[in-house]
Amino acid sequence: MRIDVLTLFPELVDRILSESVVGRGRAAGLFSVVCHQIRDFAQNKHNNVDDTPYGGGNGMVMAPGPIKRCFDDAVKDAPDGERRRVIYLSPKGAPLTQETVERLAEYDRLVLLCGHYEGVDQRVLDAIVDEEISIGDYVLTGGELPACVLTDAVVRLIPGVLASPECHEDESISSGLLEYPQYTRPAVWEGEAVPEILLSGDHARIRAWRLQRSLELTEQRRPEMALAWKTAHPPKEKKQRKGKSRQKSDA
Ligand SMILES: C[S@@+](CC[C@H](N)C(=O)[O-])C[C@H]1O[C@@H](n2cnc3c(N)ncnc32)[C@H](O)[C@@H]1O
């Protein structure tokens, strides 16, 4: 997968996406991230990329021309048949969910447009953008952090980025429940002991304990999620013991 980020702050995005697990996956060539400076595509003396809004109002709006030229340059060598999705990070977009992340992980290329100031001229959004995504109901100063959030969530699904594929399976949201509490050494810390069952080595009982904790936590914090999970996982009917049923029919 290749991710192109169109931004006024390419160094910021590049830096964040060069660290930790994502940075290692990127360095190993499991995916690539290319950051493009929209300002390089300005065509005026002062390299301005924004202007006052038509109709009046606060702040500045990012002009369509530099963004469109930057986009055309980013995709100029795209291979035929490439599965590409162009996303504008915006508080007006659809909320980002794990389902969306899994869908986006199927593309060959994501192009992420980061707005700034009061936003972006609607005409360039209409011309190039496939969907708008919000990372939450709050307003940030720019789309760079949302682009990094989206990239992080998507690339960790690429095989090899995480140490083991099972890492996804138990996780909050992916499993349909919030994750159970985790513990590591020391076994007693500031007088607080790790739940004894986790030291038992009995993997079946540990699995059952973790599921129970996950369910309790999800019921407390996200009741709608717990209800959906319970609907999808009805309790298994206990098998009738042969001896018992024979007794009944004998009676
Ligand atoms: C100050 S915001 C513009 C907000 C815009 N005037 C509005 O009311 O919708 C500047 C840029 O930050 C980004 N942004 C801000 N909050 C965001 C969020 N919750 N999710 C995704 N992007 C966001 C967008 O790219 C946006 O163009």
143 CB neighbour count, 10 Å cutoff? 29
Parse the chain into domains and list their residue ranges: 2-155, 169-234
Span from the CA of 114 to the centroid of ligand 1 (angstroms): 8
Residue recorded with tokens 């986006």? 104
Cα dihedral value 104, 108, 109, 110, nearest 10: 0
* Residue 57: predicted pLDDT: 96
User: Is 144 within 8 Å of 115 (Cβ atoms)?
Assistant: no
What pTM, to 2 d.p., does this model score? Answer: 0.92
* Residue 240: predicted pLDDT: 64
- Ligand 1 atom 20: the closest Cα is on which residue? 134
Which CATH code is given to the segment(s) 2-155?
3.40.1280.10
* Residue 208: predicted pLDDT: 97
Q: Who lines ligand 1 at CB under 6 A?
A: 89-92, 114-116, 118-120, 134-136, 138-143, 146
Give the atom of ligand 1 at the shortest distance from the alpha carbon of 113. Answer: 25
Burial of 224 (0-12, 13-18, 19+ CB in 10 A): exposed
Low-confidence stretches of the chain (pLDDT < 70) are: 167, 239-251
Fold for 169-234, please state it.
Answer: Trp Operon Repressor; Chain A (1.10.1270)
15 CB neighbour count, 10 Å cutoff? 13
| Substitution site in 86, 89, 150 for ligand 1 pocket (most atoms within 8 Å of beta carbon) | 89
Span from the CA of 30 to the centroid of ligand 1 (angstroms): 30
Establish whether the linkage from the previous residue to 64 is cis, with ω within 30° of 0: no
* Residue 164: predicted pLDDT: 79
Span from the CA of 143 to the centroid of ligand 1 (angstroms): 6
* Residue 175: predicted pLDDT: 86
**Separation of alpha carbons 97 and 85, rounded Å:** 16
* Residue 172: predicted pLDDT: 82
DSSP run (H or E) holding 23 = helix 20-27
pLDDT tens readout for residues 95-148: 999 999 999 999 999 999 999 999 999 999 999 999 999 999 999 999 999 999
User: Is 111 within 8 Å of 143 (Cβ atoms)?
Assistant: no
Span from the CA of 93 to the centroid of ligand 1 (angstroms): 9
State CA 244 to chain mean position distance. Answer: 51
**Separation of alpha carbons 192 and 199, rounded Å:** 14
* Residue 168: predicted pLDDT: 72
